[in-house]
């Protein structure tokens, strides 16, 4: 699908969609619990659908309806299962250890760039703990055996998703385990979100000196009902639109959330935008913007939209660093962001761990490719607010991975987007 977007000022108010990161975690914990759990949310996407399908394959029953996912937990895991993770790295990395803890001989399939996304650090730890894998570098991934308790160790700057998968799975094992993270630890807010969701289900994990101490034979206790927070990661796109042109309010956001991407308000304010946070409503309005340098270690998902914000700034130089892990996301996001910005008139340069963005050229508009990456689609749509001419996005349907109604909300705020080739 190709979409043409005309420059326009975005104004108004929308409600944040539910946090994809939190819903993933809630679903998996609910599937492991001792009773039914109702998870209230107001938006889904292909990644969440992948997790729902995989949990169903593992024996859970999940019903959708009326803004709710009703989860009946796994009573008896199957001996064998095929889990189609689609393009969801979270689904794959979270559920590999869970399937191992349940003793399921599982075949993990997927599409897009998922087969090339790394799992080797997690694989090594699982192999050391009793799990057999199919031959290296082969996809689909087949596992067999049962995960054993013991000492686990991961580098803290590779993927917080590996950490989450083990933190969810290890309490299920018969004996106690430890999980040590070798500093530096990046994307720490995602680990904190995992610990928070586990606490909702009564799971106790102690932490000291970059190590987690996990008692075995713990029981996931259903809280019966949960409501997912608004998603700061996706709200960041529209809040940035307010900073570029107009004034945008996003409701349903928790200002004290553990989501790391709530830092978007602080960063936009540093750039010079007018920011107000009141009773779960965040408003960002246009002001003269200056580019800033950004350490992306804990906020990698904000890099595409922050790159747009800085490219559209009135002055200054932006240096984004500690973002090397973006090379192994749904796309090579550093290369994708750089190319897209070049195509709409910005001068920038990639570095080993980030990107340098100059601001002396006005954004002109142009045609870009989405690289089949939802965050690239949304970032380029928001860039249109600062462009002199139209932006055309090829393969814009990638947005459905996390935010299927993005363009409906975009138009609600006054954006002008038309499908020109389906």
How many Å apart are CA 39 and CA 197, to the nearest integer?
12
Asked if omega into 50 is within 30° of 0 (cis), the reply is no
User: Catalytic: which of 301, 352, 418, 421?
Assistant: 301
How many Å apart are CA 330 and CA 190, to the nearest integer?
18
Q: Please say if 373 is a catalytic residue.
A: no
Six-digit token pair at 55?
A: 């949990």
How many Å apart are CA 124 and CA 132, to the nearest integer?
10
How many Å apart are CA 319 and CA 307, to the nearest integer?
9
Residues with a known catalytic role: 301
């Amino acid at each position: 699908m190709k979409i043409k977007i005309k420059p326009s000022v975005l104004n108004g108010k929308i409600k944040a969609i539910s946090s994809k990161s939190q819903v993933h975690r809630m679903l998996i914990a609910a599937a492991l619990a001792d009773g039914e759990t109702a998870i209230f949310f107001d938006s889904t996407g292909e990644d969440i659908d992948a997790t729902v399908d995989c949990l169903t394959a593992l024996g859970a029953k999940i019903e959708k309806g009326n803004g709710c996912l009703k989860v009946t937990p796994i009573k008896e895991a199957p001996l064998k299962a095929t889990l189609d993770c689609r393009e969801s790295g979270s689904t794959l990395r979270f559920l590999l250890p869970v399937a191992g803890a349940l003793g399921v001989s599982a075949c993990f399939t997927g599409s897009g760039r998922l087969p090339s996304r790394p799992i080797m650090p997690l694989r090594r730890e699982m192999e050391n703990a009793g799990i057999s894998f199919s031959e290296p570098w082969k996809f689909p991934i087949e596992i067999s055996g049962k995960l054993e308790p013991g000492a686990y160790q991961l580098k803290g700057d590779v993927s917080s998703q590996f950490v989450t998968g083990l933190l969810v799975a290890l309490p299920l094992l018969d004996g106690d385990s430890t999980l040590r993270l070798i500093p530096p630890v990046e994307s720490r807010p995602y680990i904190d979100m995992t610990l928070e969701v586990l606490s909702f289900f009564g799971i106790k994990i102690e932490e000291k000196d970059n190590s987690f101490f996990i008692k075995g034979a713990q029981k996931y206790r259903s809280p019966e009902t949960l409501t997912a927070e608004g998603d700061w990661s996706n709200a960041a796109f529209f809040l940035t639109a307010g900073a570029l042109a107009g004034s945008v309010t996003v409701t349903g956001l928790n200002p004290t959330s553990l989501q790391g991407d709530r830092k978007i308000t602080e960063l936009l304010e540093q750039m010079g935008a007018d920011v107000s946070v009141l009773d779960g409503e965040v408003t960002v309005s246009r002001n003269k913007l200056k580019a800033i340098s950004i350490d992306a270690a804990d906020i990698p998902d904000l890099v595409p939209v922050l790159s747009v914000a800085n490219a559209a700034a009135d002055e200054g130089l932006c240096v984004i660093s500690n973002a090397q892990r973006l090379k192994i996301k749904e796309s090579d996001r550093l290369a994708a962001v750089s190319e897209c910005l070049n195509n709409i008139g910005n001068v920038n340069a990639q570095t080993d761990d980030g990107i340098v963005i100059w601001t002396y050229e006005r954004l002109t508009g142009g045609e870009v490719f989405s690289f089949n990456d939802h965050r690239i689609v949304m970032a380029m749509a928001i860039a249109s607010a600062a462009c002199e001419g139209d932006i055309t996005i090829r393969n814009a349907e990638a947005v459905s991975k996390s935010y299927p109604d993005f363009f409906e909300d975009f138009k609600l705020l006054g954006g002008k987007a038309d499908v020109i080739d389906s």
